[in-house]
Amino acid sequence: MGKPVIKPLVVLLLSLILVSECAAIHSQKRRMGQRVKLSLEECGELEKLEAIEPDYYRIEAEGGVTESWNHTNKMLRCAGVALVRRTVKPGGLVLPSYTNAPQLMYYVQGSGIQGMTIFPSCPESFEEPEEAGQEYREQHQKVHEIRGGDIIAIPAGIGYWFYNNGDVPLVVVILLHTNNVANQLGTLPRRFYIAGNTEDEHGEGGREKSISGRNVFSGISLNLLAQVFGVRVETARKIQGPDDKRKNIVMVGGRS
């Protein structure tokens, strides 16, 4: 069901973005000199848009599949975007991550819930308990129900997760606007997982290949991590998850 919708969708999105990008490249070039790496001449040669498949990188995880489009494709580079598709099994949870670019998420089919942090790492997002003994509550994570047909915009650097609570695969196509001025890390699409142990769906994106455990906590020493979170070293090791084979989409227990 998802497939026939995707090609026209991608072509439509690309056309829209190419049109706005061409204007943006002109004015950006004037404003920012060499920020835009592709020459206008090169992108001017693009005469028609072609449908392309997400056959660049594929991650088979416990709870679903992630496929990306080749972001070095000329059309995508000229539009300044990268694209990825996730197909999440019923009961599958896509672990929280953020990227260097603003994103548009188009839910193609299925239903689920999505959680998003509004002010990442802001201490004020945790409210003081009103009475002694009450737990701290996270106030600034928004949780929404989502279903096929929804489009969600996510600013650069905002962490989010989503979960398939339905009975059919949840399919989402995610567009990263890497050429956006909000992207401060160069033109490659880069996703940073806050949990789990997975490779980047856009390829290594210039990252070190040899690191063990590939979430944002992997590079921190176990003892420091344990101290910062106030947990035991074994728990800190679980946060880094170097031996976790489930990758970026995990099955949530408690469902039959």
Ligand X SMILES: *[C@@H]1O[C@H](CO)[C@@H](O)[C@H](O)[C@H]1NC(C)=O
Residues of this chain that interact with ligand X (CB under 6 A) are 56, 70, 72-74
**Percent of the chain as helix, strand, coil, to the nearest 5:** 25, 30, 45
**To 10 degrees, what angle do helices 233-240 and 222-229 make?**
110
- To which H or E segment does residue 83 belong? strand 82-88
Q: Can you tell me the distance from the alpha carbon of 161 to that of 191, in angstroms, rounded to the nearest whole number?
A: 13
Bridge partners of residue 163, in order along the sequence: 93, 113
Distance in Å, CB of 77 to ligand X, minimum = 8
Distance in Å, CB of 57 to ligand X, minimum = 7
Residue number with CB closer to ligand X (201 or 244): 201
Distance in Å, CB of 23 to ligand X, minimum = 24
Residue number with CB closer to ligand X (73 or 187): 73
Tokens at 41, concatenated: 């001449």
Distance in Å, CB of 97 to ligand X, minimum = 22
Other beta carbons within 10 angstroms of residue 26's beta carbon come to 12
Residue number with CB closer to ligand X (56 or 98): 56
Residue number with CB closer to ligand X (74 or 207): 74
